[in-house]
Amino acid sequence: MTLVDVTHGKGSTEGVVTITLADEANRNALSAALVDELVEALDETDADPEVRVVVLTNRGRVFCAGADLSERSRSRNHVGDSSVKPVDPALLFSRFRASSKVYVGRIAGHCVAGGMGLAAAMDLAVVVEDAKFGFTEVRRGVAPAMISVLCLPKMRPTDAAEAMLLGNRMTGADAARLGLVNRAVATEELDTVVESFVADLLAGGPLALAATKQLLNRVPDMEISEAFAWTADLSAALFRSDEAKEGMRAFLEKRPPSWSV
Question: Active-site residue numbers?
Answer: 137
Q: How far is CA 28 from CA 33, 138, 170, 183, in A?
A: 11, 21, 19, 22
Q: Which residues pair with 111 in a beta bridge?
A: 64, 133
SS3 state at 216: helix
Report d(CA 251, CA 245) in Å as an integer. 10
DSSP annotation of 204: S
Strands 16-21 and 124-128: unpaired
Output phi, psi for 44, to 5 deg. -65, -45
Q: What are phi and psi of 53, to 5 degrees?
A: -135, 140
Determine the Cα–Cα distance for residues 88 and 240; give it in Å rounded to an integer: 40
Q: Which of 44, 61, 58 is nearest to 8 (CA)?
A: 44
